Structure 1
Amino acid sequence: MNANGSSTPAEAALLLPELDADRLVADLMTARNHLWDQQRVYRDGVVVRQAEEDWRCLAVRSPGGDKTRTDPGGPGGAEFADTEWLAHMPYVREVLRSIPGPLFAARFMDLGPDTVGYPHCDSKFAPDWGMARLHIPVITHEKASLVLDGVTYHWQPGEFWFGDFSRMHQIQNLGSEHRVHLVVDVLVTPELAQLFPADWADYFNGPDVLHNRPAVAVTDGEREAARCSFDAPAHLLEVEEFGSLTGPQPQAGFSIVDTGTGLAVRSPRDHLFELVPLGGHEYRLVGWSEERTVTTRLEDPQPKVELAYRKGRRTSRLPVPATPAA
């Protein structure tokens, strides 16, 4: 229950700890002579859209540590890793390592002078989907603002913010100077909740937050035994879609394959979506939360794969017949 008496928390929260604004700027300046890349949207590792406004990024963590990736990543790519830029930023490394949860993308995001972004929602980047997006202002001024769910913010250097960016939001910079934030995506864990104000405790302990489990090791034998093929709803790997596991809908063929180092789901377009083992033959997608998992039940008399879609503690499950690999 928040201060307004609602079970839904506020759209943003000022987190612990306070940060050293001067050290953040000093780290940022190690990359200011480099021409940053435009913000882009990728799908299956290919650019499908690029920002038209002056909206540039410098990735310090990205899929596979690729310094050219300006997007937040997602399923279907490599594990997130530090880029070469982070090696020159000791304080940013310190800040990132202090965040208690598995880190995904971390990007300096530069909104150019006299630039207004378009209103939009970042689907599923919120705790009910197991994700949190954190903002660390580095360079800003009074004419730079964020409107988040109808509330206008002027976040300041040295502050550390969470925002629910699955809600409608718009950024704007009406001044003559650049506005730069370090934006960090992290999986929600009980430890992450300790950074939030005390009045958020009931929310994080309640049914509306999806907490992620740590990855576990998987043996060569388990990888071999998990290989199979199955038919499932076609939106299984389209995580930005709000598909349902129930009701008549288009189906597609999928398979679970051994990549030599781990397991992956092969999509109908022959793209590999690598998997993270959670124990009990259950797996989430690399680059994504437990919002979507697959569990192999191939030792059953009737072999199957169990699909799960989650939002908070609410789970929809669908068992589908599976054919173990020869």
Structure 2
Amino acid sequence: MQWKIDGPRTVPQAFPYQGSKRALVGQILSLFPEGGIPLLIEPFAGSAAVSVAARHYGVAQDIAISDVNGPLIELWRMIIDAPAELIDVYTAMWHEQQVGDDPLASAKAYYMEKRREFNQTHDPAILLYLLARCVKAAVRYGKGGDFNQSADNRRMGARPANMQERIMSASRLMQGAKTSSESYEDPLVNAPREALVYMDPPYQGTSDVPDHRYLTGLQREVFAETLQHAVDNQVSFIVSYDVVREDKKYGEALPEELGLTHRHVTVGVSSQATLSGRKEMTIESLYISPALVARLGGEDKIDTLVNVVPEDQPALF
């Protein structure tokens, strides 16, 4: 069935994060086996939008999230295990940033101070503050691994009461979830056959480029080899890999030899384009492993579960 997401607040979002699959979770959950799954593994966690949604709708019993971005995973550990402490620290920072005769100027200087502190300490609570204040909630890292995104100086970040609501809601849903800062290979290749692995790896167009949107890049060839091992082990997995906007597509398709079922699905209007004054439809590229296709009843069944873009209709703009 197609899961209906009634509005942006239906599924909690612990923190803003550019690239979050929150708008796509309805389609992704539609590709879960009927009756749900005993274990969902999300090894490129980010904002863990799929895991949070799976718990929200009761279609995943156990959750395991991981990400090579250590401070991000530590932030998730605080959300799960110490949400009140995290909210207290965030609240203090939110008020401290506005001390002075000119609150906006004070907040700008305060952000830069906290960014320097984070790059020295990797404090996850400071990361939450940076995510709330940085431009477009877009994480950027320099070549040396330092967080280098600028502040959005038009706003102060989510008010403490709003942040408390988001953090506590996500915390309740994610109780018992396992967290790890390990890389994706082992959680994917050695996933139990009854589990499902959802992956949202860095797009090729955002890895190894000047703005460094991710802490580490992801080589397509190495990723494809790992996917082959997972296919051989009959792992059920879904991969979000490259997005299409107008005539622009990032990166190459995954190799056909993997035997993955590839579908373009409609997501909705691009929020990034909207910020730039344009209206563009976003189309997401999903790859589904043979083991999961078999569990769902075959490729024809896939096309009844998600909003597939027809092959003879490559653009919907």
The TM-score with structure 1 as length reference comes to 0.24
Between 1 and 2, higher relative CO (CA 8 Å, sep ≥ 6) is seen in 2
More helix by share: 2
Output the TM-score relative to the length of structure 2. 0.24
Larger radius of gyration: 1
